């Protein structure tokens, strides 16, 4: 460090190990003697942690359920599309099999993906 006048100072901090160690041991012993306070603090901490954990689990379950319902709706829509496509194929709506086959393959692929993710 240096001062405004440009003089350099050597600042060192000293720690009296003996008195610091005595202070630490006395603090620890006082804490251990007051078991009611320690137990109360631990119980409170555990209850808070359990509450936070429960909330996290609940949020995760909600997200999974929402995703499952979304996939279920997608699967229903794809299956309905397949049925409609087959019906139109039987009624000869498609001009050629080259139009029908790629549509069917695409919908079947989508259905397999959605079914796999649902499982």
Other residues' Cβ atoms within 10 Å of the Cβ of residue 20: 10
| Closest by CA position to 76, among listed 47, 111, 50, 46 | 111
Query: Would you say residue 8 has pLDDT above 80?
Result: no
Indicate whether 22 pLDDT > 70: yes
Residues 88 and 62 sit within 8 Å (Cβ to Cβ) = no
Average pLDDT over residues 79-83: 92
CA pair distance 37, 41, nearest whole angstrom: 6
pLDDT at 1 over 90: no
Three-state secondary structure call for residue 43: helix
Q: 70-90: buried (b, 16+ CB within 10 Å) or exposed (e) per residue? A: ebeebbeebeebbeebeeebe
Polymer length of the chain: 119
- The yes-or-no verdict on residue 113 having pLDDT over 80 is yes
């Amino acid at each position: 460090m240096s001062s405004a006048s440009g003089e350099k100072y050597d600042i060192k901090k000293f720690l009296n190990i003996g008195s610091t160690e005595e202070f630490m041991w006395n603090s620890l012993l006082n804490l251990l003697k007051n078991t009611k306070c320690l137990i109360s603090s631990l119980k409170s901490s555990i209850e808070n942690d359990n509450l936070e954990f429960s909330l996290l689990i609940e949020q995760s379950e909600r997200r999974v359920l929402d995703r499952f319902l979304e996939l279920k709706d997608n699967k229903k829509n794809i299956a309905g599309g397949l049925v409609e496509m087959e019906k139109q194929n039987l009624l000869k709506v498609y001009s050629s099999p080259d139009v029908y086959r790629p549509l069917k393959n695409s919908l079947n692929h989508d259905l397999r993906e959605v079914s796999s993710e649902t499982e």
